[in-house]
Structure 1
Amino acid sequence: MAFVGTSGFVYKHWADGVFYPKKLPQREWLEFYATHFNTVELNVAFYRLPSEDVFKSWYRRTPGDFSFALKGSRFITHIKRLKDCDESLKLYFKRARLLREKLSIVLWQLPPRFKKDIPRLRNFVRALKGYRSVRHAFEFRDVTWFDAEVFELLHEADKTLDVAVCMADWPSHVVKIPETASFIYLRRHGPEGDGLYTGCYPKGELQKDARKIKKWLSEGKDVYIYFNNDANGWAVKNALDVRKLL
């Protein structure tokens, strides 16, 4: 199945008709969003773990077939850098699991200057096996991680844990990412040359993504794609365009 959405849904510059109708109160934005998309990637959990009431509210306000992708806590990825995270993972998932069956994936985005550390990655993946009811994706931002040893580790881990390498279009990432899992996770941060989180992807780029997604779907893979170019509502436009192409 294809899951197409945006990275976040609470942007004031999406109001007043850019995406959300004029006079629609912010407390109703998620419900409106969920009438257009079947998934959302939430970055808020990266900065601060929301309260139990917030997680319960997200669950209650979305349709039964809606899917949430949560960004992993920066305390785990950026401060502890994947080391000795058992207690932090317990706290994180105690809250995150309040999304119940709607929690599909947790995205673990590593810091840009965190270099490849195989023992640390192996131990962290081992710890994640306690949370195998959820899929996991790693977004590596230092080029040293784009390495056969890393890909092989995650491919082996995928036999007992759904874990993939995120395919993101960071400007510095020119390496072809192998498919290590039974699902695909794509992040679109903005078209080349326009800067991060801005710009509108041209039709040709979206058609290329759509062709790849159709291929993966034909192979029985689930595909998740999130647009993060929130400026001027481009993320919404591009996500809607991809949905139409599928």
Structure 2
Amino acid sequence: MDIRCGTAGWTDKTLIACKRFYPRGSSSAEARLRFYASQFPLVEVDSAYYAMPSASNAQLWSERTPEDFTFNFKAFRLFTGHQTSPDVLPKDIAMALPEGITGPRKKNVYYRDVPAEILDELWRRYLEALEPLRASGRLGAVLFQFAPWITRATDGLALVDECRARMAGYMVAAEFRNQSWFDDQHAQWTLDFLRERGLVHVIVDAPPDVTNRVHTVWEATHPALAMVRLHGRNTQTWSATGAASAADRFDYDYNDDELAELASSIRAIATRAGRTHVIFNNCFEDQGQRNARTLMGLLGNAS
């Protein structure tokens, strides 16, 4: 079994501020990435969700990590149906947006509102940014975490299919947030939908008693890769909005019993795919890094 563990990012402000993960002297971007890559074989670039990634950064990341290190990318938020401020778009793209979809009453734009020629250019730049890691063999999967309002309705299915088509030739993973995808009536349909399209089903661990999440379904839909993302189980902060940061929302420290239970399920799913990626998204201080190390120890020779 090939199981790789890592965390969603390596530069969170609270991680750096807590001073427990990085050794003394790791004060530069290069030093931090080199140290992280000496501890884990995998990382998820979550910053690519908040802003378009750049090829120059990807080239530096490739140069600063071992050949067998893997970067998963989180897809840019506009592509996954989330509300997106024009301020996070490249300046020339933001300036090219028609006046009808921006303005003082419209703080955000949505994928469906953006003209086709601008979408084409955004996708082109996104793929260009991935190329240095793809060329060096360090690019793993591109994760599309679709917005909670993306359902199994016709427009939701069309968005998933468009993302798949735009990413032809790449390993693509889909994480849904709307319960319609994996309720009792439709779970098998969704798994078949993903298999038919060659998409990786993302197994989520999240608070069990919230509504804006899908059920945890331990199934693999791609023969080459299974993916598990661990968001923590903090019910109080899961739906926090406004000023809440990702570190605040996913503030949760898995205990040893929870990790042991997860390790058992991860071993089982790893028998159904060539490789398994496990990402800790509990990104408050060093929780994710500590939990990932504990899980690696529990998995032992499997990872």
Query: Shorter-chain TM-score: which interval?
Result: 0.7 to 0.9
- In structure 2, the CA distance between the partners of 1:31 and 1:103, relative to structure 1 (3 Å rule), is same
- Asked whether the 8 Å contact 2:181–2:214 carries over to 1, the reply is no
What aligned pairs does 1:48-87 form with structure 2 within 5 A after superposition?
48-77=51-80, 78=82, 79-80=110-111, 86-87=120-121
Match of 2:202 in 1: 166
Pairing partner for 1:22 from 21, 24, 31: 24
TM superposition shift of 1:168 = 1.5
Instruction: Name the residue aligned to 1:8.
Output: 9
State whether structure 2 residue 134 is matched by structure 1 residue 103. Answer: no
- Compute the displacement of 1:205 (Å): 1.4
- Cα offsets for 1:15-54 (capped at 9, x unmatched): 3641001232132100000000001001111111122211
- Matches of 1:123 and 1:144, distance apart in 2: 15
Correspondence list, 1:38-53, <5 A: 38-53=41-56
Root-mean-square deviation (CA), in Å? 2.4
For this pair of structures, how many residues does the alignment match? 242
Letter in 2 for 1:89: W
Aligned partner of 1:188 in structure 2 is 230
* Residue aligning to 2:96: none
Alpha-carbon deviations, 1:208-236, whole Å to 9, x = none? Answer: 22222222333443111111112131101
1:237 paired to 2:239: no
Matches of 2:282 and 2:163 in 1, distance apart? 33
Q: Deviations over 1:83-131 (max 9, x none)?
A: 9655533321121122122111001011122222346435643652464
**TM-score, length-scaled by structure 2:** 0.72
Aligned equivalents of 1:2, 1:82: Cα separation in 2: 40
Query: Given residue 210 of structure 1, which amino acid in structure 2 is its aligned partner?
Result: A
Give the conservation status (yes or no) of the 8 Å contact 1:31–1:61: yes
Of the three residues 223, 233, 258, the one matched with 1:205 is: 258
Contact 2:226 2:273 (C-alpha < 8 Å) held by counterparts: no
Aligned to 1:107, what secondary structure does the other structure show? strand
Q: Does 1:37 align with 2:40?
A: yes
Matched, 1:137 2:190: no
CA distance in 2, matches of 1:64, 1:179: 27
Cα distance, 1:82 vs. partner? 11
Q: 163-172 or 192-201, which moves further after superposition?
A: 192-201
Q: Distance in 1 between matches of 2:263 and 2:214?
A: 20
Distance 1:82 1:118 in 2: 17
Question: How far did 1:80 drift?
Answer: 1.0
Which deviates more, 205-214 or 83-92?
83-92
For the residue of structure 1 that corresponds to 2:65, the secondary structure is coil
Task: Indicate the larger mover: 169-178 or 123-132.
Answer: 123-132
Q: Find the partner of 1:94 among 119, 128, 139.
A: 128
SS of corresponding position for 2:39:
coil
Is 1:114 aligned to residue 114 of structure 2?
Answer: no
Aligned partners of 2:62, 2:154: CA distance in 1, in Å? 36
The amino acid of 1:231's aligned partner reads F
Structure 2 letter corresponding to 1:181: H
Residue in structure 2 matching 1:179, options 220, 223, 231: 220
Residue 143 of structure 1: how far off its partner (Å): 0.9
Distance 1:119 1:53, change over 3 A: same
Instruction: Determine helix, strand or coil for the equivalent of 2:5.
Output: strand
Pair member with larger Rg:
2
Q: Which amino acid in structure 2 is aligned with residue 155 of structure 1?
A: R
Give the whole-Å Cα distance in 1 for the aligned partners of 2:297 and 2:111. Answer: 41
Q: Deviations over 1:124-160 (max 9, x none)?
A: 43652464442111111111122243322112112xx
CA distance in structure 2 between the aligned counterparts of 1:75 and 1:91, rounded to whole angstroms: 13
Q: Percent identity, aligned pairs only?
A: 28
